[in-house]
Amino acid sequence: MNEDLEVTGPVSLELYAKSSAVDTDFTAKLVDVWPNGFAQNLAEGIIRARYRDSREKPEMMTPGQAYKFTIDLWATSNVFKKGHALRLEVSSSNFPRFDRNLNTGETRYLRTGDGPAGDQFVTATNTVLHDAEHPSTLILPVVPK
């Protein structure tokens, strides 16, 4: 940062991505990186791909097709001080904080509406898209000076 930047309120990520799997997770974490390299986690969120449009009606993905995911990182209040850096970490897992995804549409535990239970998994190759057609965007509530 060239100058202090205050971020206060709800944070979200509009993520365009595709996967080789029919289901996967996408996670996002907002981090304040201090000049000495210390990384302070501020806010985080996760979305299971099958619930990208509805929690009530899960829908698997078509492998290789691009989708838009909205990840709620909840709210934060932080001043990124001059000399600090803002970092966005995007991943497909945050285990053990969040349950793992088998990437098959099955779940490890049988839950109503979640699909069949299983213990077999596949590796998902996930691609984050960021171009004119797929403008992945971090939405920050910046407080004006």
* CA dihedral over 32, 127, 25, 51, signed as positive or negative: positive
Check pLDDT > 80 for residue 28: yes
What would the mean pLDDT of 44-54 be, rounded to a whole number? 97
Q: What does the pLDDT look like over 69-115, one tens digit per residue?
A: 999 999 999 999 999 999 999 999 998 888 889 999 887 655 555 55
Token look-up 């986690």 returns 41
List the CATH code of the domain at 5-133. 2.60.120.260
Distance of CA 77 to the CA centre of its chain: 19
Selection from 106, 100, 22 nearest residue 61 by Cα: 22
d(CA 14, CA 53): 13
Q: Domain map of the chain by residue range?
A: 5-133
Tokens, residue 70: 């909205």
